[in-house]
Structure 1
Amino acid sequence: MKQLSRAAVIWQLAAFFATLVPHLSWMPFWLIGLCIITPATRLMIHSGRWSLPHWSVKLVLVMAVIGGLLLTFTRETGVRATVALLIAGLALKMIEIYHRRDALVLLYVSLFVSGTAYLFHQSILMALYSLMTTVLIVAALNSIYQDPLRNDWLRPLKRSLRLVGFALPLMLVLFIIFPRIGPLWSVPLNQNAARSGLSDRMAPGDISQLTRSNELAFRATFEGPVPAPQQRYWRSMVYGHYDGRTWTRLPRREQFRLAEVDLVGDSEPLAYEVVYEPSNNPWLVALDQPSAAPSGSFLTKGNAPLRYRPVDRRISYKSSALLDYRLQPDLPEYDRQAYLQLPGENSDPRSRELAERWWRETGGDADTFVRRAFTLFNREFSYTLSPPALSGYRVDGFLFDSRQGFCGHFAGALTFLLRAAGVPSRVVAGYQGGQWNEDEAYLTVRQYDAHAWVEYWQQGRGWIRVDPTAAVAPERVSQQADRLFADDPAFLSDTPMARLRFGSGWMADFQRQLDALNFSWHRWVLNYQGQQMELLKGLLGEVNLARLGLLFFIPFVLVMGVVAWLQLGGRKRSRDPLERALARLLADFQKRGHPRASNETIQAFSQRMSTHFPAMAGELRALAKCDEAVRYAGRPDARKALLAAIAACYRALKSSRAKEKRLT
């Protein structure tokens, strides 16, 4: 086991830091500090200023890291905790690397950790950065096999680029030909509703928590006219049960009851395509109102799309929607009772009394009742991302005490009032709005676009959508959420760096172009996965294991043949610049009729050439002296001098040839 060179240490540090960069956005500060301190300690140990730490010091560091991980991460952040454990192990390994074996462990684990970056980021930039990280790690692997006395900084990088370059063609062949296989296991990355999307329950303030996150929810393209901002309601969840604190979906047996829901359209369906981000939840989004269920899913009794299995990876699906519609003009009695459910008779008495009084004053007209509530909200309520906490009777506390809230507060309160008045109603949650990209013609919806609204039922007209938030803050429906909340300190409080994307000028243009590039890439990859079998059938006729193997074997042989040809062709000439320069000089002497004998040393050859070229005697003596120092004295520092001596002899030989031509 050889001691590592200084160049090898530097390459290890470069690979280590490159591996960490994609994880800096979520790593705790103590772990970032550890990843800075241990490489600095590594340099001090390699330079001889410090000695390797005692085993007791290592034990204390390991116990401190374990304690930090237990205090920082929970069960909901299991994947991050696992990656953090690997990163902490890399950092601790830094302080005990001395021999090649230790460095190999560090670099092999670094390759694995660099792959975990795709658990958090999946974009073209991430792919390019991952490729660069791989090049650095392979360069570090090359450097540890380099002679410790030979600090050649660029040679490991050149070898790494060559190796990775050979691997790229095979990677492309595998991507194009190899069939896509579903995940062997599902990794629940996003279990926290405040960051990963809507939940199957809604308590006052839950949806406002989503405005703290800049996470991408989905992107959509349309085959027809683009809906106006006021029509961009994306349906995801229908809450029909209220227990006095939380709105939840109807009982599971009712949600999965595949009953026909009558939907009458007054316009042509609008077709669209959604590229949906992984959420580890089974619910999807559909433009209100969905006229068909996306592939692999069904529409629940609330006409919301639900998948048969959780969305554990990015998917693409097509659907259609009716923007002018009548949904379920006739409501079965069982469903009517379900959407009139309220907690015990003693809950929220002031709200019940208000609803009964309004119902009498409006003559039992639901539309007038809703306008009455909107008038109250508009005059006496305020819209905020940081509403005060509610206790006791939640609806009473919101309507009569705090009078501040987010969309969930207004939607829940209006639904309660309607039910108390005897009008079937429900809360619908999803997303509203989004950012339209004019250049690439697609809509981007993020978690801060999460929204809740209300549907109430009328005989013959069906379910009618109303948005109480529009009565308090109509700009929430007509403007982009990022512009509306830009000055609110609670907006994107979990991801403050995300505010940088809302700037103007070239930075904003670059962000939009990059986002469009990522969307085009994701859409192409997802569509290619669906079209690949058709492509293979067109090439093979029948797709079976033997034909797939043959289809892969032919490109593999061609690529490996090119690699072998390049490798064998490269052996014909030396890769060492000294050897190449010396071979070039000897070839020129041979052209002049003075070949070097096979058993003749450079010293003997230089002495013999001095008799034929007296004017070059000085340059030839310098060549012999430098060659002896490098070849026999083992002085790597004399390589530059030898290269300079070869160049001087070459110039002198060329000058002598020019003089002979002038004389003749």
Structure 2
Amino acid sequence: MKQVSVKPVDKLSRSAVLWQLIACVAVVLPNVVWLPAWVLLLGAGCIAARVMIHTGRWSFPHWSLRLLLVVAAAAGLLVSFNRDASLNAMVALLTVGLALKLLEIYRRRDALVLLYVALFVAATVFLFEQSLLMAVYMCVAVLAVIAALVSVWQDPLREEMLRPLKLASRMLLPALPLMLVLFFLFPRIGPLWSVELDRSAARTGLSDSMAPGDISRLTRSDELAFRAVFEGEPPAPSLRYWRVLVLSAFDGRSWTVGSSSARGAEVLDVQGETLTYEIVQEPSRQRWLYALDVPLAAPPQAQLTMPRTLVSANEVSQRIQYSLTSAPAYQLATQLSQAERRAYTQLPSRGNPRSRELVSTWLNESQGDVVTLIDQILAYFHASFVYTLEPMALGEHSVDEFLFDTRQGFCEHFASATAFMLRAADIPARVVTGYQGGEWNTTQRYLTLRQYDAHAWVEVWIEGQGWQRLDPTAAVAPERIEMSADQLFSGQAGFLADSPLSARRLIRQGWLLQARMRYDALNFAWQRWVLNYHHQQQNLLQDWLGGITPWKMVLALLVPGALVLGWLAWRLLRWPQPQDPLQRHLQRLLQRVARQGFQRQPDETLNRFVARVAAHSPALAEILQPVAEAYEQLHYAPSTDAQARQRLLAAMRQAETRLKS
């Protein structure tokens, strides 16, 4: 340990050190949920050590100890992030640097470096969380950093904690109008939170294959999938089928996407009115997009596949927004080629013998009529099957075991068994995975779809009618189609098992439910109109400015900017210049002396003034003499340290007290 000599001009006040600690804690706190535990322990240790130094119990650490901590922290980062130069690692590096810098803030320059790094750390918080509450919190955190910057420049003898906060508020308040002007008018660039953080991050939601248990596993999560805003009234709950993937290849247990045809999307014959709506999709690190069954066209930067699902050009690694039009009533692909018919009736040559035999029996009884066979399948499910979130595990012959042994399952069990039986009867069939239903928010009028809304159903091809939706789950649990998933599953043990403290599990009714819905609506508005503002900017500017031209954009930016800057200049000219606290105390003391008939001349030194006062009032001169001596020592002695300032301040306060008495 060592003592560090600091010049008075660079010395930090005790309140400035406290503000630095507050600022560091404020900007790091939101990152505690993902930072490695050792980084948090290091930060807590550095803060505790700085508090001990601040209270005078410890000295600043020796350079060798600081070097050892730097080497240890670098090794920890290499181990934690496996030499991965991702943004996660860079943010952790900034946090470690912020913590270690606390141990060497000797002078003003060190404090400034610390606070500049703190501003970078504050900005990186939005890489991980962009909610409205986080935005409000980070405004407070930035205010704390600015207050810490103000405190760095205040007099070392001043111990005021609230003054830097007041000055920081006065500095930030005029910046708000200019910020709004730049936000609304400045051309959009990719936001900070659109940067991909971790390429190894887990993919969420539906996958490109479906095996027994895959979709029921999604009911353990309340993670947001997407939201939908309709131009008019939303479709009825029974029509809220959100198409994501069509699975056409079956290996005896799992369904996969299979090979797609080279030709374009299947022919769609729209019957009735269409629905226009907007999707705000959360990051999934998958390429597929969500659409109400069935979309008419693909949005920009996406394509429409043959079975009319949507695929993005890139993985969805950030929140995206797009508009779609769908047809609730339609005829799809009324003609099938021989190759397509073979693909949609393909089954493994072996496996599930009991199911094949049952289908053969039903086919004979129905005399080959497709509709009659479908009715038999649905009646079989309705008679003795159970719809459950926690079905029993299935073995090699999964369809046989489900149909004849367990007789309990989730939507993927019913969809898989139905498609298998239809194909066994040489009827084209395929499985569709997506989402069904959603929670309707009456405040902002939008649907919210979460992972527990995931669903699977079947499309069966009927001669002259094309692909028809067939949902076998409705034969077992029709309430699944009419009710939202959280209402239906709330009483089952497996529902939201990964989120036991989820608000959607604990808050089911009353004013708390209304409060949750209102907050969700407020957060959604924040996402649409602030985080995703670049999607609306072009249309808004067109409405505000008419035709967008370079001159209009320049004037739109310069005029409000000039008004804001002019107002700031006017306020700065009106505000009094900041004054040294010692000089302010001296002026107040001299004003008291002037009221007793002794006025100091502008060219008169303090010692000469006291000598002149002594000729007429020796008692008054005796009071002023210690002040004059301390003043002369501070300003003219070779060493002008903080102790001399403190002596002058004490002398002036004592003189003021004696003059009052």
Greater displacement, 590-599 / 417-426: 590-599
**Identical-residue share of aligned pairs (%):** 47
User: 1:177 and 2:185 equivalent?
Assistant: yes
Q: Which one-letter code corresponds to 2:79 in the other structure?
A: G
Measured after TM superposition, the shift of residue 444 of structure 1 is 1.6
Partners of 2:567 and 2:22 in 1: CA distance = 31
CA distance change for structure 1 residues 352 and 315 in 2, over 3 Å: closer, same or farther? same
Structure 2 residue corresponding to 1:368, chosen from 348, 372, 390: 372
Alpha-carbon distance between aligned partners in 1 of 2:353 and 2:157, rounded to the nearest angstrom = 85
* Structure-2 separation of matches of 1:187 and 1:530: 20
1:67 to 79, 84, 106: 79
Q: Could you say which residue in structure 2 is the equivalent of 1:318? A: 323
Aligned to 2:483: 479
1:7 match? 15
The separation in 2 between residues aligned to 1:459 and 1:452, in whole angstroms, is: 23
Equivalent position amino acid for 1:67 in 2: V
Aligned to 2:3: none
| Mapped contact 1:220–1:444 kept (Cα < 8 A) | yes
Per-residue CA deviations over 1:565-584 (Å, capped at 9, x if unaligned) read 333332x3445677668767
Cα offsets for 1:466-511 (capped at 9, x unmatched): 2223333333322222233334444334444433674255543332
Greater shift, 418-427 or 278-287, is seen at 278-287
Matched, 1:220 2:232: no
What is the Cα deviation at residue 180 of structure 1? Answer: 1.5
- Separation in structure 1 between the aligned mates of residue 279 and residue 658 of structure 2, nearest angstrom: 68
Q: In 2 relative to 1, CA 30–603 (structure 1 residues): closer, same or farther, beyond 3 Å?
A: same
Corresponding residue for residue 532 of structure 1: 538
Contact 2:60 2:104 in 1 (8 A): no
Cα–Cα, structure 1 residues 601 and 152, in superposed 2: closer, same or farther, change >3 Å? farther
Aligned pairs for 1:259-270 within 5 A? 259-265=265-271, 267-270=272-275
2:422 is aligned to: 418
Return closer, same or farther for 1:319/1:57 CA change in 2, 3 Å cut-off. Answer: closer
What's the CA shift string for 1:210-267, capped at 9, x where partnerless? 333333222222233332222211112212222344322232564xx423512231x2
Alignment partner of 1:427 is 2:438: no
Find the residue that maps to 1:510 and give its secondary structure.
helix
* Corresponding position: 1:196 with 2:204: yes
Query: 2:178 is matched by which residue type in structure 1?
Result: L
The alpha carbon displacement at 1:175 in A equals 1.1
Asked if 1 retains the 8 angstrom alpha-carbon contact of 2:39 and 2:96, the reply is: yes
Partner-residue secondary structure (3-state), 1:251: coil
Note if contact 2:77-2:89 (Cα within 8 Å) is conserved in structure 1: no
User: Following the alignment from structure 1 to structure 2, what is the Cα–Cα distance between the partners of residues 108 and 575?
Assistant: 26
Find 2:495's aligned residue among 479, 491, 508: 491
Q: Which amino acid aligns with 1:482?
A: D
| Kept after mapping to 1: 8 A contact 2:379/2:475 | yes
What residue number does 1:107 align with? Answer: 115
Determine which of 313, 334, 359 is the counterpart of 1:329: 334
Query: Is the contact made by 1:194 and 1:206 (CA closer than 8 Å) also made in structure 2?
Result: no
Distance apart, 1:610 and its partner CA = 11
| Distance (whole Å) between structure 1 residues aligned to residue 593 and residue 617 of structure 2 | 11
Q: Aligned match of 1:248 in 224, 234, 256?
A: 256
Q: What SS class does the counterpart of residue 502 from structure 2 fall into?
A: helix
> 1:345: how far off?
0.5
Q: Aligned in 2, Cα 1:251/1:556: closer, same or farther, shift over 3 Å?
A: same
Q: Give matches, 1:553-568, under 5 Å.
A: 553-568=558-573
More moved, 330-339 vs 102-111: 102-111
443, 453, 458: which one aligns with 2:457: 453
Check conservation: 2:249, 2:346, Cα contact below 8 A: yes
Residue 300 of structure 1 aligns with an amino acid whose one-letter code is: T
Q: Which residue of 1 aligns with 2:357?
A: 353
CA distance in 2, matches of 1:644, 1:414: 95
Whole-angstrom distance in 2 between the partners of 1:390 and 1:298: 36
CA apart distance, 1:152: 3.2
Counterpart for residue 125 of structure 2: 117
Distance 1:524 1:603, change over 3 A: same
Structure 1 residue 458, shift from structure 2 partner: 0.7
CA contact (8 A) 1:190 1:196 kept: no
Check 1:11–1:376 CA distance in 2 against 1; reply closer, same or farther (3 A cut).
farther
CA distance change for structure 1 residues 585 and 235 in 2, over 3 Å: closer, same or farther? Answer: farther
SS of corresponding position for 2:278: strand
What is the Cα deviation at residue 147 of structure 1? 5.4
From 400, 405, 410, give the equivalent of 1:406: 410
- What is the DSSP-based 3-state SS (H/G/I as helix, E as strand, rest coil) of the residue aligned with 2:173? helix
* Partner SS for 1:272: strand
Deviation readout 1:72-121 (Å, 9 max, x if unpaired): xx98x965455445445544555565555555554333322322222232
Q: Which stretch of the first structure deviates more once superposed, 452-461 or 300-309?
A: 300-309
Alpha-carbon shift at residue 446 of structure 1 (Å): 1.8
Classify the secondary structure of the residue corresponding to 2:228: strand
Deviations 1:250-303 (A, max 9, x none): 32564xx423512231x2222322223333433222222224444554432212
1:40-83 Cα offsets, whole Å, 9 max, x none, are 2443354434763465465445434543445xxx98x9654554
Q: Distance in 1 between matches of 2:610 and 2:501?
A: 67
**Partner letter of residue 518 of structure 2?**
Q
User: What's 2:442 paired with?
Assistant: 438
Question: Which amino acid is 2:57 matched to?
Answer: G
Supply the distance in 1 between the matched residues of 2:157 and 2:595 (Cα, whole angstroms): 37
TM superposition shift of 1:513: 1.7
AA aligned to 2:472 is: P
Matching residue of 1:132:
140
Q: What is the identity, as a one-letter code, of the residue corresponding to 1:359?
A: L
Alignment partner of 2:376: what SS?
helix
Structure 1 residues 65 and 585 mapped into 2: Cα distance closer, same or farther (>3 Å)?
same
User: Is this contact kept in 2: 1:540–1:547, CA < 8 A?
Assistant: no
Letter in 2 for 1:113: V
Q: Which secondary structure does the structure 2 equivalent of 1:274 belong to?
A: strand
Name the residue aligned to 1:514.
519
Q: Point out the more displaced range, 450-459 or 352-361.
A: 352-361
Identify the range of structure 1 (229-238 vs 214-223) with the bigger mean alpha-carbon deviation.
214-223
Residue 259 of structure 1 aligns to a residue whose secondary structure is: coil
Relative to structure 1, is the Cα distance of residues 622 and 202 closer, same or farther in structure 2, using a 3 angstrom cutoff?
farther
TM normalised by structure 2 equals 0.81
Q: Is the 8 Å Cα contact of residues 190 and 279 (structure 1) preserved in structure 2?
A: no
Equivalent AA in structure 2 for residue 132 of structure 1: V
Change (3 A) 1:537 1:54: closer
CA distance in 2, matches of 1:428, 1:210: 16
Change in 2 beyond 3 A, CA 1:364/1:561 = same
For residues 80 and 187 of structure 2, what CA distance do their matches in structure 1 show? 42
| Farther-moved stretch of structure 1 (412-421 vs 151-160) | 151-160
CA distance in 1, matches of 2:187, 2:398: 54
Letter in 2 for 1:385: L
- In structure 1, the gaps of 5 or more residues are 653-664
What SS does structure 2 have at the residue aligned with 1:196? Answer: coil
Paired residue secondary structure (1:263): strand
Distance change >3 Å, CA 41–CA 585, structure 1 → 2: closer
- CA gap of 1:319–1:365, structure 2 versus 1, over 3 A, is same
Aligned to 1:655: none
Match of 1:301 among 306, 313, 316: 306
